[in-house]
Amino acid sequence: MVQPITKAIFPVAGLGTRFLPATKANPKEMLPIVDKPLIQYAVEEAISSGITELIFVTSSSKRAIEDHFDTNFELEYRLAQQGKSDLLDLVQKIVPKGVDCIYVRQPQALGLGHAVLCARQVVGDEPCAVLLADDLIDCSTPCLKQMLNVYHETQASVIAVEKIAPEDSDKYGIIAVDKSFKGQGYIHSIVEKPKMQDAPSNFAVVGRYLLSGKIFEHLSRLTPGRGGEIQLTDAIASLLKEEKAMGLIFDGTRFDCGSKLGYMQATITLGLRHPELGNDFRSYLKETVESF
């Protein structure tokens, strides 16, 4: 029987240096796209894919994330008093009933792999999801759900990938796959941020993973890799020597909201689609672009 995946890790303890100065005192994951913080998009994706335990790996400068998923008694009281039931509903439904939030600390930003390892005590040896909220993935079927479908078919770890321009290889983890790889297939190996000439393919890992519980053993054995950080990619490379993992080109669009350009692209795309603002925003954008 396939072991169900109910836990998701959200590593949110990074320093967000690409987005300074905005991220000096504010968590990158709390930057809003239109009216919702990035982390809430990732949490909604996880919940709509069937995840019921949300494990946030945070740091001392990320308290706003805990507050966002907690009750704000005064705000709720005032909204109720003012009869603003729609807004009250909106804030009360951020974490639906039956979903739990758990917080663990990463004492130092020692890398994504280290952040995931910090969640080991909570996850145990179960398979789990890992979602990086700065990758906002816009899909009609949630990206994580698409990955879970593959997990249920194959019982292997699943890693979301997308095709990139070869010159961008040194920004991503890159997988090696069969030449015939189109939408999904077994990963032969994986390497973190290779030079273009060393990249085994043009398929780059994006911020969604379904990982076997064995990943923690591999993470715990690692020494710092590229950039002096404990790299999740290195642990996956080690896991691949023992277990199979699938690469999946998800059906949807990824916005790299850890970069300023990706963030603006996400804001424009989701702004244009916003039910209340979309039409006015479209007219404004059109006029502005024409007058530049």
Residues lying near ligand UTP in the complex (CB under 6 A) are found at 11-19, 28, 57, 106, 109-112, 114-115, 132-134, 258
Please tell me the distance from the alpha carbon of residue 15 to that of residue 103, in angstroms, as a whole number.
Answer: 18
DSSP calls for 258-289:
TSHHHHHHHHHHHHHH-TTTHHHHHHHHHHHH
| Those residues with Cβ within 8 angstroms of residue 27's Cβ, 6 or more apart along the chain or in another chain | 12, 16, 39, 61, 62, 64, 65
Task: Compare residues 172 and 203 and give the one whose CB is closer to ligand UTP.
Answer: 172
The minimum distance between CB 13 and ligand UTP, in angstroms, equals 3
User: Quick check: 192 and 225 in contact, CB under 8 A?
Assistant: yes
- Report the Cα 242 to chain-centroid distance in Å: 25
The minimum distance between CB 58 and ligand UTP, in angstroms, equals 8
Return the structure tokens found at 112.
């994504």
User: Quick check: 126 and 210 in contact, CB under 8 A?
Assistant: no
Instruction: Determine the residue with CB nearest ligand UTP.
Output: 14
Return the structure tokens found at 150.
């593959």
The minimum distance between CB 142 and ligand UTP, in angstroms, equals 18
Return the structure tokens found at 221.
């054995």
The minimum distance between CB 259 and ligand UTP, in angstroms, equals 8
Task: Compare residues 21 and 83 and give the one whose CB is closer to ligand UTP.
Answer: 21
The minimum distance between CB 205 and ligand UTP, in angstroms, equals 11
